[in-house]
């Protein structure tokens, strides 16, 4: 990714120096994909669901233990992972060279579809 995609990036790395370093480091992981025979991907509906579901997890944790991140802390935390998720995880949904099987996760955490990328839905 060339441009910041989250508020955290715009605030802390407006010129992209950290983003470039992270992108370079993540490229090193690409060689590991050649060693994987099969990869199963859980494909969430989108970036905002990642944020929403993490907030729900933290809310439950706060209720059960008294500890957990606030919604603002969750947003900040998730903002750091969203660029890598967009760049490296989301493309796996449609890359038959990488993912053998993709489970589409619905709005309510249920599986709404299963397919092999580039193939018909199973």
- When divided into structural domains, the chain yields a total of 1
Q: What CATH number did the domain enclosing 94 receive?
A: 3.40.50.300
Residue 1, domain member (yes or no): no
Q: Which residue range is the domain that position 43 belongs to?
A: 7-115
Structural contact between residues 121 and 102, judged by C-beta atoms closer than 8 angstroms: no
Q: Is residue 121 part of a domain?
A: no
**Percent of the chain residues past pLDDT 90, beyond the cut:** 39
Main-chain dihedrals φ then ψ at residue 46, nearest 5 degrees: 170, 175
pLDDT(49) > 90: yes
Q: Within a domain: residue 122? A: no
Please choose, from the candidates 82, 86, 100, the residue with its C-alpha nearest in 3D space to the C-alpha of residue 41.
100
Residue 31 belongs to some domain of the structure:
yes
Structural domain includes residue 45? yes
Structure confidence by residue, pLDDT tens digits, 51-105: 999 999 999 999 999 999 999 999 989 988 888 888 888 888 877 778 889 999 9
pLDDT(121) > 70:
no
């Amino acid at each position: 990714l060339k441009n910041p995609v989250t508020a955290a990036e715009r605030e802390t790395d407006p010129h992209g120096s950290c983003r470039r370093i992270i992108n370079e480091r993540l490229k090193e992981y690409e060689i590991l994909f050649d060693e994987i025979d099969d990869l199963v991907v859980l494909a969430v509906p989108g970036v905002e669901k990642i944020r929403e579901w993490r907030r729900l997890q933290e809310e439950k944790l706060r209720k059960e233990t008294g500890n957990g991140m606030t919604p603002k802390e969750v947003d900040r935390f998730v903002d750091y992972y969203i660029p890598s998720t967009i760049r490296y995880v989301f493309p796996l949904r449609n890359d038959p060279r990488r993912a053998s099987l993709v489970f589409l996760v619905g709005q309510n955490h249920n599986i709404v579809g299963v397919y092999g990328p580039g193939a018909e839905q199973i």
